[in-house]
Structure 1
Amino acid sequence: MIKLRPMEHRIAPRRRILKAGTIEFGGGGIDCTVKNISETGAALELATPLLIPDRFTLRVPSDHLKRRCHVVWRKERRLGVAFD
């Protein structure tokens, strides 16, 4: 039996990466790992997504990236964000 993948509903294709990032809000930051990224958003992994606000700035120093974003989903230790 052949399993079909569900249709991809993303506007932009994602790239799998494994890079250190920082979720910045309220004058401080929380470390995270960027698991995948596209022109429109990213998936992040962190110790706990529960204390993360709905809107923050994502910084990925190795890519010179700094983007305002908002949370679109939360699951266990992962967050999905869309860039503003």
Structure 2
Amino acid sequence: MTSIIDERRKSLRTDVDEMAYISASGSSTRCRVANMSDDGAALDVPDASFVPNCFQLMTERDRIVRTCRIVWIKQNRIGVEFETKEQSAITHRERQFLQYLRDTNWQRAASLPNSSKLISKLLGNGWVERRGEGNNAAYRITSKGLAAKIRPVKI
């Protein structure tokens, strides 16, 4: 029986039982790769709430470093998509939102423009990180977001 998640995958995942390291913002933590494909992986982590939306993953065996973006979380297992090297162009609206996050300090969601679709896209691009949920949500710009702010605006 194929699950809904399996049907959305671009390529077949292979079961793996390998240690790896998650690295972001100067810190790292160990995790276990449960399964992997060319496009993504499922990782078992000590505490999913401490894993940022975008991070670097290095597998212990082959030492390949992959840029990852979380696409789902279920308890202490996270599903990640490997990002490609393509750089997304930034729109004027996205740059405006990033201006609210001038530095790398956390900003409460209540002090930011309320646009769930825009925020979702910024999170997906790895340009911002979210901490907390609902009224307790806070956002901060990532190094990718800072780089995106200086790119030409898509017209």
Specify if TM > 0.5: yes
Letter in structure 2 aligned against 1:29: S
Structure 1, unmatched stretches of 5+, are: none
Partner Cα distance (1:44, 1:16) in 2:
11
The yes-or-no answer on 1:40 pairing with 2:43 is: no
Letter in structure 1 aligned against 2:38: E
Partner Cα distance (1:63, 1:45) in 2:
18
SS in 1 for 2:61: helix
Q: Which residue of structure 2 lines up, in the alignment, with residue 64 of structure 1?
A: 63
**Aligned CA distance change for structure 1 residues 5 and 32 (closer, same or farther; 3 Å):** same
Partner Cα distance (1:44, 1:5) in 2:
20
Work out which of the two has the higher radius of gyration on C-alpha atoms and give 1 or 2.
2
The yes-or-no answer on 1:31 pairing with 2:30 is: yes
Q: Which residue of structure 1 lines up, in the alignment, with residue 148 of structure 2?
A: none
Partner Cα distance (1:16, 1:63) in 2:
16
Q: CA deviation at 1:68?
A: 0.4
By relative contact order (CA 8 Å, sep 6+), the higher-ranking structure is 1
Contact 2:18-2:60 at 8 Å conserved across structures: no
Q: CA deviation at 1:63?
A: 1.9
SS in 2 for 1:63: coil
Q: CA deviation at 1:28?
A: 1.4
SS in 2 for 1:64: coil
Report matched runs for 1:14-25 at 5 Å. 14-25=13-24
Partner Cα distance (1:32, 1:49) in 2:
10
Partner Cα distance (1:35, 1:6) in 2:
17
Partner Cα distance (1:6, 1:45) in 2:
19
Q: Which residue of structure 2 lines up, in the alignment, with residue 55 of structure 1?
A: 54
Q: Which residue of structure 2 lines up, in the alignment, with residue 75 of structure 1?
A: 74
Q: Flag as ranges the 4+ runs of structure 1 deviating above 6 A.
A: none
Q: Which has the higher helix share?
A: 2
Q: Which has the higher strand share?
A: 1
Number of residues paired by the alignment? 81
TM-score, normalized by length of structure 2? 0.50
- Provide the alpha-carbon RMSD of the alignment: 1.2
